[in-house]
Amino acid sequence: MEKSVKRFLVGIALVCTSIVLIGCGTGSTKTSGSGGDETSGKRKLIVGTDATYAPMEYMDEKGNIIGIDIDIVNAIAEAAGFEVEYKNYGWEPLFPAVDNGEVDFAVSSITITPEREQSYDFSDPYFIANQLILVPEDSDVESFEDLADKRVSVQINTTGHIVVADLLGKTNSKIVAAETMPLAITEMINGNADASVGDNAVIIDYKANNPNVKVKTIEDDSFEKEYYGLMVKKGNQEVLDMLNEGIEKIKENGKLKEITGFDVE
């Protein structure tokens, strides 16, 4: 009888202990991803990019996504108090990834245009760029208008593609549209195009890192200034406000100018 009582009391104690442990476990787990970071407690935003666009966004030897755009977003996140995680999507898949919510926003030297603003929301501008022409060193091209009868390589669906299509015609077979800007430049180097048109930062970086390739750059005053923005799903005001808060802070404290080398209007 005494043993039965003892067994009963031990059983009650074990049940109570289990209840206490279960009670302690509920509500203590933090979610990661877009919901938050387990260690810091900060919200984590997933960022999509096309890491083929040196020096703006590209992969280092270890497979890390780095570049000017990445430095800027990291500074924005620090200033606004959130975490970021980068995912390399490529240029074309980047837009549906934003649209269907796979990522919270995109950074990939994306020029703010009226056409894109119809489908997406954009942060305040954080970078100023313009188009630049790259041609072989012995080319007779001196201006953008000289490309009217030339074969021109571009990265597909970029502003470089848009301005060249306006000059040559959208369906002109002389437009060589490549998946990435490095591939577009390679098309020209291999003789499949007479010139290549793209953002100035990318073309200048290519020329600086390939001194043995006999090419030259041509500026043209007809190219308008372009403003890069962070692209957000239409109507996602919460994320947009966070990004604009960070951009405003790094403009005010000088961090943005430190990264880019110039003031952004």
- 10-residue mean pLDDT profile of the chain (265 residues): values are 41 41 32 48 95 96 97 98 98 97 98 97 97 97 96 97 95 96 96 97 94 95 95 98 98 96 83
Residues of the chain with CATH 3.40.190.10: 33-128+227-260, 131-218
Region of 78 please: left (phi>0), alpha (psi -120 to 50) or beta. alpha
Which CATH number applies to 33-128+227-260? 3.40.190.10
Rounded to whole angstroms, the Cα distance separating 98 from 101 reads 5
pLDDT for 42: 87
Yes or no: is domain 131-218 CATH 1.10.10.10?
Answer: no
pLDDT for 26: 30
Alpha-carbon dihedral sign for residues 196, 199, 204, 209: negative
